[in-house]
Amino acid sequence: MTRAPIPYGRQVIDEEDIASVVDALRSAWLTTGPRVGEFERAFAEFCGASEGVAVNSGTAALHAAMRALKIDQGDEVIVPAITFAASSNAAVYEGGTPVFADVDPETLLIDPTSVDQKITTRTRAIVAVDYGGQPADYDVLRELAAGREIRIIADACHAPGATYKGRKVGTIADLSAFSFHPVKHLTTCEGGMVLTDDSEVAARMRRFRNHGIDSDHRSREKAGTFAYDMVELGFNYRLPDVQCALGIAQLKRLPGWLDKRQAIAARYDEMFSELPFVRPLATRSDRTNAYHLYVVRLDFNQLKVDRRRAFDHLKAAGVNANVHYAPVYHHSYYRERFGYRPGLCPHAEAAYHEILTLPMFPTLSEADQDYVVAKVAELKHLC
């Protein structure tokens, strides 16, 4: 019998999720309605933040954060080289210039030493990407930003439920952006949220997600008025009630899913300790890792194959590995628009040629995990 391919990540949907969505479909509200606020409050409470602003993707969350901080032409935003392009695209949307910092080779988190070297008088924000699910070095980044009017944005799309020195992600940065894509910790099909403790900033982002209009339909209906005012140029980044219903149901199971991800990662770590050519990324002792991704570095000095051959071998065996990520400035758009060239971030570039993302999701069975490890072990014998 043919073995079903093992994806690197996937959603978990149960009957309660389906019932919640059906209830929403049968209600009076499909788009912006009462479940939006309910989901915002529940997720903000889970993370320990005061305010949540739901939007229709993690990218929209990052864009809303940039607009909330009033990033503009000539402003520089420091971003780690290893991340999904949206982390820096969001600054470009607002006219900002992304400045790429190198990463710590053991964690692939943004390297504060590199950040320090990249700060100029034009720096307005630092995007700290919680790569793979591990929080960045927030205290050091805050020290670098102190007294310089530089704000910290957490790209926490990989890390809901992770902690840094006892504090939950979502409460550490000035603004924290999350994603609810299907391969993330919980899903709303597509969706995202920004968390903050600043109610004025939250109000600004709610306006931004709704075309820049100063009120939504529900608030006008309650006030008995049809009038509204578009006070700025915004976007339609709203997250519908139906999708928020799914998020509310999923959130109830997030703590258990986090436990399972961490247990799977610990088991991977133990099994890979027997393979000297496999080096999992390190997790620092002062934080917990939410493990959206399980990433390893392969020592190709010990192997007789390159990363392409390793990737193809795993894929042929039904192990759908992935690579997260190429340095953002390697993309054609960034090379052509900003003139970035190789050599900008040496640690990031070296890591890119060695990293593989292996399957990680809460329902990954031990048998499938054993199979993944066995196929990785076979890399030693390929020619």
> What amino acid positions are annotated as catalytic residues?
184
Q: Say how far apart CA 135 and CA 284 lie, in whole Å.
A: 9
- Strand, helix or coil for residue 64: helix
Cβ-based neighbour number of residue 146 at 10 Å: 9
Residue whose C-alpha is closest to residue 294's, from 171, 177, 376? 376
Largest distance between two CA atoms of the chain: 74
Q: Where are the alpha helices (DSSP H) in the chain?
A: 15-25, 34-47, 58-68, 86-93, 112-118, 138-145, 199-208, 217-223, 241-251, 254-272, 307-316, 332-338, 346-352, 366-377
CB-CB neighbours of 84 under 10 Å: 19
Structural contact between residues 323 and 354, judged by C-beta atoms closer than 8 angstroms: no
Do the Cβ atoms of 154 and 176 come closer than 8 Å?
yes
Helix (H) or strand (E) holding 194: strand 192-196
Q: Compute the Cα dihedral for 17, 268, 157, 6 and give only its sign.
A: negative
Q: Cis ω on the peptide bond leading into residue 325 (within 30° of 0)?
A: yes
Gap between the Cα atoms of 259 and 216, Å rounded: 38
